[in-house]
Structure 1
Amino acid sequence: MSSTTPDAARARDLAQVERANASGRVPVVFVHGLWLLPTSWDRWAAVFEEAGYTAVTPGWPDDPETVEEAREHPEVFAGKSVGQVADHFCGLVRSLDRAPVVVGHSFGGLVAQIIAGRELSRASVAIDPAPFRGVLPLPLSSLRAARPVLGNPANYHRAVPLTYAQFRYSFANAVGEEEARALYAAHAVPAPGEPLFQAAVANLNPWTEVKVDTEAAGRGPLLVVSGERDHTVPFALAHAAYKRQLRNRHAVTEFAEIPGRGHSLTIDHGWREVADTALAFVRRFADPS
Structure 2
Amino acid sequence: MNTSDNQASGLTTKTIVFITGAFVSANSWDKWKIYFESAGYKTIAPSWPHKNASACILRKGHPDAAIASQRLADLTNYYAAIIQQLPEKPILVGHSIGGLITQILLQRGLAEAGIAIHSLQPQGVMTFKFSFYKAGWGPLGFFTSSKKSYLMSFTEWQYAFTNGMEYEAQKEAYYNLAVPESKLVVRDAITSAAKVDFGKPHAPLLFLAGGKDNFMPASLNYSNFKKYSDKDSITDYKEFGNANHFVLGQPEWEEKAAYILNWIKTL
Moved more, 24-33 or 227-236: 24-33
After TM superposition, the structure 1 = structure 2 runs for residues 109-128 of structure 1, keeping only pairs within 5 Å, are: 109-128=99-118
Equivalents in 1 of 2:145, 2:157: separation in Å? 17
Equivalents in 1 of 2:143, 2:197: separation in Å? 29
Match of 2:205 among 201, 207, 222: 222
Match of 1:267 among 221, 239, 249: 249
The CA RMSD measured in Å over matched residues stands at 1.6
Amino acid at match of 2:196: V
After TM superposition, the structure 1 = structure 2 runs for residues 277-288 of structure 1, keeping only pairs within 5 Å, are: 277-285=259-267
CA contact (8 A) 1:117 1:215 kept: no
Amino acid at match of 2:101: V
- TM-score norm. by structure 1 comes to 0.84
Q: 2:259 aligns to what SS in structure 1?
A: helix
Equivalents in 2 of 1:153, 1:162: separation in Å? 16
Per the alignment, residue 7 of structure 2 pairs with none
CA contact (8 A) 2:141 2:183 kept: no
Equivalents in 2 of 1:100, 1:215: separation in Å? 23
Q: 2:144 aligns to what SS in structure 1?
A: helix
Aligned residue pairs, count: 254
Per the alignment, residue 221 of structure 2 pairs with 238
Amino acid at match of 2:72: V
Equivalents in 2 of 1:209, 1:263: separation in Å? 23
Amino acid at match of 2:19: V
> By how many angstroms is 1:136 displaced?
2.2
Per the alignment, residue 91 of structure 1 pairs with 81
Equivalents in 2 of 1:163, 1:214: separation in Å? 36
CA contact (8 A) 2:140 2:184 kept: no
The higher relative CO (CA closer than 8 Å, separation ≥ 6) is in 2
Per the alignment, residue 248 of structure 1 pairs with 230
Q: Deviations along 1:156-187, whole A, 9 cap, x unmatched?
A: 33210011100000001121222111111111
Amino acid at match of 1:93: I
CA contact (8 A) 1:155 1:194 kept: no
Q: 1:214 aligns to what SS in structure 2?
A: coil
Per the alignment, residue 70 of structure 1 pairs with 58
Equivalents in 2 of 1:243, 1:25: separation in Å? 27
Q: 1:215 aligns to what SS in structure 2?
A: coil
Amino acid at match of 1:38: A
> By how many angstroms is 1:66 displaced?
1.1
Identity within the alignment, %: 26
Task: Flag structure 2 segments of 5+ consecutive residues without an equivalent.
Answer: 1-11
After TM superposition, the structure 1 = structure 2 runs for residues 75-224 of structure 1, keeping only pairs within 5 Å, are: 75=64, 76-199=66-189, 202=190, 205=191, 208-217=192-201, 219-224=202-207
Equivalents in 2 of 1:163, 1:262: separation in Å? 18
Match of 2:14 among 18, 23, 26: 26
> By how many angstroms is 1:239 displaced?
0.4
Equivalents in 2 of 1:251, 1:157: separation in Å? 41
Task: Flag structure 1 segments of 5+ consecutive residues without an equivalent.
Answer: 1-23
Moved more, 264-273 or 208-217: 208-217
Q: 2:146 aligns to what SS in structure 1?
A: helix
Equivalents in 1 of 2:146, 2:158: separation in Å? 23
Equivalents in 2 of 1:47, 1:271: separation in Å? 11
> By how many angstroms is 1:155 displaced?
4.2
Equivalents in 1 of 2:217, 2:131: separation in Å? 8
Q: Deviations along 1:12-62, whole A, 9 cap, x unmatched?
A: xxxxxxxxxxxx962100001011111110100011111111001112122
> By how many angstroms is 1:284 displaced?
2.0
Match of 1:257 among 239, 242, 247: 239
Structure number with the higher helix fraction is: 1
Equivalents in 1 of 2:235, 2:128: separation in Å? 23
CA contact (8 A) 1:118 1:216 kept: no
